[in-house]
Amino acid sequence: MLNKRVKIYISIIITVGLFFIVYSMLNVPTNRIIDIILFGFFAALAESMPIYITKDVTVSVAFAVDLMALLILGPYEGALIAGIGTAFQISKYADGRVRHIFNFPYYKTLFNMSQIALSVGVGGLIYEYAGGIPRNYIYPYHLLSAILAAIVYYLLNTSVVAILLSFLTDKSLTYIFSKEIKWMVPNFLFLAFLGIIMSEAFVRIGYVSLILLFIPLFMIRYMFKLYMDSKQSYYDTINVLVKALDAKDKYTAGHSKNVEKIAALLCREFGFSESHTEMVKIASLLHDIGKIGVKEEVLNKPGKLTDEELSIIKEHPQKGYEILKEVPALKDASLWVKYHHEWYNGSGYPDGIKGDEIPLEAQILSLADVFDALVSDRPYRKAFSPEGAYEIIVANEGTQFSPKIINAFKKAFEKHREEFKHDI
């Protein structure tokens, strides 16, 4: 359910956006209707080709088409075209279901239409205010105006979405911009460049330029999709390894996923970039991969381990390192896996390093690993509550854990107490 703050925000954007759309309709000459329909078709086509970055996050190539619309036809026509493209897109969800206007929540459609129409419309008004003239050559006299319009369109569109994300996730706007939106800037720069180039081409050769536009857009989307598919295959392979380990070690089934979740919260406190956090999450999933080489009777022994069995278990960080180090993309992660049982005071294993010799990422894995172990049932004890596990970990500051990792843990636990609950 949406909270009151989100509902109010969505209502404001929809109200202002629909007012602007109606105002735009009243200010569009009748001889532009065909242009709006044709551009709207291409905008909907572009919106129908999203690339899924995650289950809920997509990158669209429609920015270039919408930018063309406002530069060529003007702010009001551009707003209507962007709204049409957003409303009538037909695409597939990550799970394969087809999305269209009739099976998509109406308030989401209205919000998306409203915010994109506002963003494009304001960008178009800025273009004219800065001296730009629709249906005129952009280079060289109106190039700066076009760049300014693209920046305003992008910033307004991004800000509206960022505020909504902040309300939905309870994260600060600073975090949303720096960690969840910043990575899209290169995408914006390229599409802005392409939109301006194709606007110039449209003025010179007309609608043929729109067809030419979609050739590079299709190629960009295809190449990026290949990259994302290979990345997904990479994650699928990792998850297969994790499932194989879970099947072998019944007492730690699901443990790696929980460690991944906690590690991500700690990475957030340290301000890691998304790519850095992603690599730590991968290391979290694979931190116990060395246990694949340990006999099941040792892993699943219900009673106390003998000294010999304990020494076998203690080999798993080194074994995990030896497995992962051969993969170039996991070179750093392999070291974090190797050192995730090292202690701040030097009494850990396998190498007995201490203090800042232990990589911060390995310290994150270590704390996340210990926390989830404490809140999980074991053959020799019942699980601690999250609060009990918190007290135990904090009490080990200066011995097992460094002050800086404990400080980050305290902040993360206070902000995300619910997410520290154990998931089976």
Is residue 336 a part of any domain in this protein? yes
Q: Residue 117 in 3-state DSSP?
A: helix
65 within 8 A of 195, measured Cβ to Cβ: yes
Q: Which of 338, 339, 334, 248 is nearest to 291 (CA)?
A: 248
| pLDDT at position 75 | 96
Same domain flag for 286 and 182: no
Same domain flag for 80 and 32: yes
Q: What CATH number corresponds to the domain at position 187?
A: 1.10.1760.20
Cα–Cα distance between 63 and 151 in angstroms, integer?
Answer: 11
| pLDDT at position 416 | 83
Residue indicated by tokens 């270590």: 366
**Of the candidates 166, 194, 229, which is a domain's last residue?**
229
Cα–Cα distance between 171 and 268 in angstroms, integer?
Answer: 11
Same domain flag for 139 and 194: yes
* Model pTM score: 0.65
| Structure token pair of residue 227 | 């990259």
Same domain flag for 399 and 278: yes
**Of the candidates 200, 229, 258, which is a domain's last residue?**
229
Residues 6+ apart with CB under 8 A from 172: 166
**Of the candidates 229, 263, 278, which is a domain's last residue?**
229
| pLDDT at position 104 | 82
Same domain flag for 196 and 91: yes
Element (H, E) at 416: none
Residues 6+ apart with CB under 8 A from 327: 334
Residues 6+ apart with CB under 8 A from 92: 98, 99
Q: What is the 3-state secondary structure (H, E, C) of 371-399?
A: HHHHCCCECCECCCCHHHHHHHHHHCECC
| pLDDT at position 422 | 62
Same domain flag for 208 and 254: no
109 within 8 A of 61, measured Cβ to Cβ: no
Same domain flag for 260 and 188: no
DSSP class of 178: I
392 within 8 A of 337, measured Cβ to Cβ: no
| Structure token pair of residue 318 | 């080194």
Q: Which of 366, 368, 371, 372 is nearest to 353 (CA)?
A: 366
Same domain flag for 362 and 218: no
Residue 305, class by beta-carbon neighbours within 10 Å (0-12 exposed, 13-18 middle, 19+ buried)?
middle
Distances (CA, A) of 128 to 31, 125, 165: 20, 5, 31
How many domains does the chain fold into? 2
Q: Determine how many CB atoms are found less than 10 A away from the CB of residue 17.
A: 24
Cα–Cα distance between 399 and 354 in angstroms, integer?
Answer: 10
Is residue 88 a part of any domain in this protein? yes
Cα–Cα distance between 176 and 180 in angstroms, integer?
Answer: 5
Q: What is the 3-state secondary structure (H, E, C) of 220-253?
A: HHHHHHHHHHHHHHHHHHHHHHHHHHHHHCHHHC
Is residue 150 a part of any domain in this protein? yes
Same domain flag for 31 and 94: yes
Q: What CATH number corresponds to the domain at position 400?
A: 1.10.3210.10
Cα–Cα distance between 167 and 13 in angstroms, integer?
Answer: 14
Element (H, E) at 98: strand 98-99
Is residue 396 a part of any domain in this protein? yes
Cα–Cα distance between 48 and 51 in angstroms, integer?
Answer: 10
Residue indicated by tokens 């295809």: 222
> In which domain, by residue range, is 9 found?
4-229
Is residue 45 a part of any domain in this protein? yes
| 400 alpha-carbon distance from chain centroid | 32
Distances (CA, A) of 94 to 54, 107, 136, 226, 232: 8, 21, 41, 15, 12
Same domain flag for 109 and 14: yes
Is residue 235 a part of any domain in this protein? no
Is residue 385 a part of any domain in this protein? yes
Same domain flag for 277 and 172: no
| pLDDT at position 90 | 85
Same domain flag for 117 and 221: yes
Q: Residue 325 in 3-state DSSP?
A: coil
21 within 8 A of 114, measured Cβ to Cβ: yes
How many H-runs (helices) and E-runs (strands) does the chain carry? 18, 4
Is residue 234 a part of any domain in this protein? no
| pLDDT at position 253 | 61
| pLDDT at position 301 | 72
Output the tens digit of pLDDT for each of the chain's 424 residues. Answer: 678 888 999 999 999 999 999 999 999 999 999 999 999 998 998 888 766 555 555 667 788 899 999 999 999 999 999 999 999 988 766 566 777 787 888 888 999 999 999 999 999 999 999 999 988 888 888 999 999 999 999 999 999 988 998 888 777 787 777 766 766 777 788 889 988 998 998 988 888 887 777 777 677 777 777 777 777 777 777 777 777 777 766 666 678 889 999 999 999 899 887 788 889 999 999 998 888 877 777 776 767 777 787 888 889 999 999 988 888 888 899 999 999 999 999 999 999 999 999 999 999 999 999 999 898 877 667 889 999 999 999 999 999 999 999 999 999 998 888 778 766 5
| Structure token pair of residue 67 | 């930018």
